């Protein structure tokens, strides 16, 4: 699987000894998911196998239940606020809440995958950016976004209700003799 992802033949043999668990305990589906995730993030095949085998903890991370607020997450990761604002301005359709499992797609859409890859490619401590605990460190933005969303929904509901009442009145006026 690693060779199919682009790792050079013979480049991962020395790493296998320290990462036996990857080969003995993990199912192919989990390995394939992580290979695809990092490959779609832009990691080059020849570096991919080495990265995953030297950072085998990546296979234990569960991205499926973690929801991020994209702009705030990017700021937490260390991107400058003006860089995030510019990316959000260019790509407003990817802003908002998104699953961490979709991070590679969001970053590619915003053309920030290489900046993020620079942050995590050293492995070790920098992999905390992919953990649920890192995402939960700052939940103030989530509360703010949630509040703004609910306020917006209340306004839309009120407008729709008023529009609905107006439509009913027009119908009655047209079809009913007063």
pLDDT, tens only, 97-152 = 888 888 889 998 888 888 888 888 877 777 888 887 787 766 555 566 666 766 77
Query: Angle 40-65-55 (CA atoms, 0-180°, nearest 5)?
Result: 50
Calpha distance 162→174 (Å, rounded): 18
pLDDT at residue number 47: 81
Report the predicted TM-score, pTM, of the whole model to 2 decimal places: 0.63
pLDDT, tens only, 10-62 = 555 545 545 666 666 777 888 888 888 888 888 887 788 788 878 888 888 88
DSSP 20-46: HHHHHTS-HHHHHHHHHHHHHTT--HH
Q: What are the tokens at 94? A: 């990817």
Calpha distance 24→15 (Å, rounded): 14
Q: Which residue has the higher pLDDT, 79 or 18?
A: 79
pLDDT at residue number 48: 82
pLDDT at residue number 143: 60
* Residue 68: strand pairing partners: 98
pLDDT at residue number 20: 61
């Amino acid at each position: 699987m690693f060779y199919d992802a682009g790792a050079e033949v013979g480049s991962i043999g020395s790493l296998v000894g320290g990462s036996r668990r990857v080969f003995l305990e993990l199912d192919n589906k989990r390995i394939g998911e992580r290979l695809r995730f990092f490959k779609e993030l832009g990691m080059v095949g020849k570096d991919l196998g080495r990265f995953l085998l030297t950072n085998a903890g990546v296979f234990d991370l569960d991205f499926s239940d973690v929801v991020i607020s994209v702009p705030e997450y990017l700021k937490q990761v260390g991107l400058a606020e003006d860089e995030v604002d510019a990316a959000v301005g260019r790509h407003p359709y990817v802003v908002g809440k998104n699953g961490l499992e979709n991070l590679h797609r969001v970053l590619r859409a915003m053309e920030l995958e290489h900046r993020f890859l620079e942050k995590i490619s050293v492995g070790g401590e920098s992999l905390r950016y992919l953990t649920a605990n890192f995402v939960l460190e700052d939940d103030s933005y989530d509360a703010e976004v949630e509040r703004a969303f609910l306020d917006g929904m209340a306004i839309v509901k009120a407008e729709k209700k008023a529009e609905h009442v107006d439509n009913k009145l027009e119908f009655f006026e047209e079809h009913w003799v007063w």
